[in-house]
């Protein structure tokens, strides 16, 4: 039976309407055509009756083994296990990271509650993708993630100030260009631009030209900005006492100025670097330095370095960034307390004790920090010394005085026994001296007739004292050599 033109159109209309009504009645169906951007997560939407027994998705290249399946809420399949695909409760397929290899036709088989199977196909097409804005962190690897067809004829990247010579280009899988030769840039197979070490000079607008398989050109502009992340100046940081250390802040070599300040002090600049010129009291005292990347170098860590430091970074565009870093001076062994009447200077390996005047150490002044290999711990060797008071010894020289003794001779007295008329013991009477008595005569003349000791001669008393004084002087002179 032949149909005229309008009859054929009416027939097709009713046929399509009938098919749509059948699909609508069953409540099952999928979008036949879906497109998605490369590098993004894309869903191939379907709407199946939730009472189905199973949903089975197949790739175009493999029509036998399901890529992913959903049965009674249970998911399985190589696509699910590789985390490349997922399937939703309504049966829709999710492609997590779309690539040009996903540009194909997918087939899905629905097994309904009556165990009847329906088959649907979805044509999925992938388009190129490249973001218009990208941010990179200073001194890290920066990537402008684009997703171009690897089969494209060529990808050409240009810097903002050079619109003629490509910075880097890829043709038939081979890479060229001054940026590639200098190892500053690279390009991934999908056309993404890689900046190996982001610096402030990379903050610009890049242009990329894509030449597809049909030799059609597509131009995309990407605004790349540079930031200094908190990870560039981590806090806190530590250093060993008595050893050199660095407070790391990885700024780029093309910064304009870096200033380091110790907080909670007078807030004056400790040290500053501007270009190749370094200044400040910390640099003059030879205690600090600033490296090429802006990090603070402590030549020898001491207790005074236990502080919070503030660093102010100014880039070539006069943008200012401020960071605060807590620094802790530490040692392998425990921190030793200051002794009474003394001090201890502690480093990572040694502790040296000193006492104030009038005190001395009772043990060795140096104590070493030693690693115990068995327990992998550190400990202080030997006893910890203490400051004890000095003992003052006083030497007393005894002075001996020898004196002469004059013995007076008592005059003999005449004793006369007189007996009283009364019977009994006799009584003794001392006779009265007479003028003829010798003692009376001498006394009358005013002269002392007392006898001296037989060993003492006239004038002998002065000679004896002289000899005693000489003996005392000699004794005092030789005493230090006797003790």
Looking up residue 112, the CATH number of its domain turns out to be 2.60.40.10
Whether 99 is in a domain gets the answer: yes
Both 81 and 164 in one domain: the answer is: no
Whether 400 is in a domain gets the answer: no
- Contact between residue 313 and residue 292 where contact means Cβ atoms under 8 Å apart: no
Whether 2 is in a domain gets the answer: no
Q: Which of 14, 87, 89 is nearest to 51 (CA)?
A: 89
The pLDDT score that the predictor gives to residue 457 is 42
CATH number of the domain bearing residue 382:
2.20.28.230
Alpha helix positions (H), 85-194: 178-181
The pLDDT score that the predictor gives to residue 264 is 75
- pTM: predicted TM-score of the whole model, two decimal places: 0.45
- Contact between residue 451 and residue 407 where contact means Cβ atoms under 8 Å apart: yes
**Cα R_g (the chain), whole angstroms:** 57
Question: What is 404-473 written as a DSSP string?
Answer: --PPPPPPP---EEE--SSSS--EEEPPPP-TT-HHHHHHHTT---PPPPTTPPTTHHHHHHHHHHHHHH
Q: Which of 179, 172, 132 is nearest to 153 (CA)?
A: 172
pLDDT averages per 10-residue partition of the chain, 483 residues: 60 55 58 91 90 90 86 91 92 92 92 86 92 86 91 92 90 92 93 90 92 88 80 83 88 79 84 92 94 91 90 82 88 84 84 92 88 80 88 61 44 41 43 45 42 44 57 61 53
Domain that holds residue 160: 133-227
The pLDDT score that the predictor gives to residue 429 is 46
Both 117 and 197 in one domain: the answer is: no
What is the rounded distance in angstroms from the CA atom of residue 373 to the CA atom of residue 479? 57
What is the rounded distance in angstroms from the CA atom of residue 76 to the CA atom of residue 81? 7
- Contact between residue 17 and residue 38 where contact means Cβ atoms under 8 Å apart: no
What is the rounded distance in angstroms from the CA atom of residue 372 to the CA atom of residue 388? 31
Whether 478 is in a domain gets the answer: no
Both 192 and 296 in one domain: the answer is: no
Both 18 and 121 in one domain: the answer is: yes
Both 19 and 109 in one domain: the answer is: yes
Q: How many CA atoms lie within 13 A of 79 on its CB side?
A: 22
CA distances from 39 to 44, 93, 95, 242, 380 (A): 15, 16, 10, 52, 59
Whether 417 is in a domain gets the answer: no
Last residue of a domain, one of 127, 150, 169: 127
Whether 335 is in a domain gets the answer: no
Both 40 and 62 in one domain: the answer is: yes
Whether 424 is in a domain gets the answer: no
How many structural domains comprise the chain? 4
Both 115 and 18 in one domain: the answer is: yes
Burial of 183 (C-beta count, 10 Å sphere; 0-12/13-18/19+):
exposed
Q: How many CA atoms lie within 13 A of 16 on its CB side?
A: 6
Both 195 and 263 in one domain: the answer is: no
What is the rounded distance in angstroms from the CA atom of residue 269 to the CA atom of residue 261? 5
SS3 assignment, position 9: helix
Both 195 and 220 in one domain: the answer is: yes
Last residue of a domain, one of 127, 142, 158: 127
Whether 428 is in a domain gets the answer: no
Both 59 and 103 in one domain: the answer is: yes
The pLDDT score that the predictor gives to residue 296 is 95
What is the rounded distance in angstroms from the CA atom of residue 7 to the CA atom of residue 184? 69
Find all residues with CB under 8 Å of 449, minimum gap 6, and list them: 438, 439, 442
Both 123 and 137 in one domain: the answer is: no
Last residue of a domain, one of 69, 102, 127: 127
Find all residues with CB under 8 Å of 333, minimum gap 6, and list them: 351, 369, 378, 379, 380
Paired residues of 239 in beta bridges: 329
Both 21 and 84 in one domain: the answer is: yes
What is the rounded distance in angstroms from the CA atom of residue 276 to the CA atom of residue 224? 28
Question: What is 383-400 written as a DSSP string?
Answer: PPP-EEEPPPP---PPPP
């Amino acid at each position: 039976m032949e149909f005229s033109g309008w009859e054929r159109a009416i027939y097709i209309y009713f046929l399509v309407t009938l098919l749509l009504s059948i699909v609508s009645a069953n409540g099952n169906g999928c979008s036949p055509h879906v497109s998605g951007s490369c590098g993004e997560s894309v869903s191939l939407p379907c709407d199946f009756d939730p009472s189905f027994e199973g949903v089975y998705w197949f790739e175009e290249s493999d029509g036998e083994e399901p890529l992913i399946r959903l049965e009674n809420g249970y998911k399985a399949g190589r696509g699910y296990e590789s985390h490349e695909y997922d399937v939703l409760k309504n049966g829709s397929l999710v492609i997590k990271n779309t690539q040009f290899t996903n540009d194909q036709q997918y087939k899905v088989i629905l097994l309904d509650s009556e165990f009847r199977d329906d088959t649907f196909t979805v044509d999925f097409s992938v388009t190129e993708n490249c973001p218009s804005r990208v941010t990179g962190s200073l001194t890290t690897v920066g990537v402008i993630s684009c997703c171009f067809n690897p089969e494209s004829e060529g990808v050409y990247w240009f810097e903002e100030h050079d619109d003629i010579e490509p910075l880097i280009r890829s043709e038939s899988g081979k890479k060229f260009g001054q940026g590639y030769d200098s190892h500053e840039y690279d390009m991934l197979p999908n056309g993404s631009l890689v900046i190996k070490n982001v610096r402030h000079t990379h903050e610009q607008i890049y242009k990329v030209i894509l030449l597809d398989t049909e030799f059609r050109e597509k131009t995309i502009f990407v605004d790349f900005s540079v930031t200094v992340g908190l990870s560039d100046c981590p806090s806190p940081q530590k250093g060993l006492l008595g050893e050199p250390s660095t407070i790391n802040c990885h700024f780029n070599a093309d910064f304009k100025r870096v200033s380091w300040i110790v907080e909670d002090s007078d807030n004056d600049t400790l040290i500053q670097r501007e270009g190749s010129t370094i200044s400040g009291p910390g640099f003059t005292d030879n205690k600090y330095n600033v490296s090429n990347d802006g990090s603070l170098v402590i030549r020898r860590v001491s207790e005074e370095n236990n502080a919070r430091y503030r660093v102010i970074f100014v880039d070539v565009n006069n943008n200012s960034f401020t960071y605060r870093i807590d620094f802790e001076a530490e040692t392998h062994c425990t921190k030793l307390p200051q002794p009474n009447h003394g001090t201890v200077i502690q480093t990572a390996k040694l502790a040296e004790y000193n006492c104030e005047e009038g005190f001395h150490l009772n043990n060795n002044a140096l104590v070493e920090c030693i690693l115990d290999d068995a327990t992998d711990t550190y400990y202080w060797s030997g006893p910890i010394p203490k400051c004890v008071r000095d003992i003052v010894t006083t030497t007393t020289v005894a002075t001996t005085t020898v004196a002469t003794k004059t013995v007076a001779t008592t005059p003999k007295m005449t004793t006369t026994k007189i007996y009283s008329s009364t019977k009994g013991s006799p009584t003794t009477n001392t006779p009265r001296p007479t003028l003829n008595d010798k003692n009376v005569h001498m006394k009358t003349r005013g002269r002392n007739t007392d006898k001296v000791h037989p060993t003492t001669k006239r004038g002998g008393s002065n000679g004896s004292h002289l000899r005693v004084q000489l003996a005392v002087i000699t004794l005092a002179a030789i005493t230090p050599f006797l003790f």
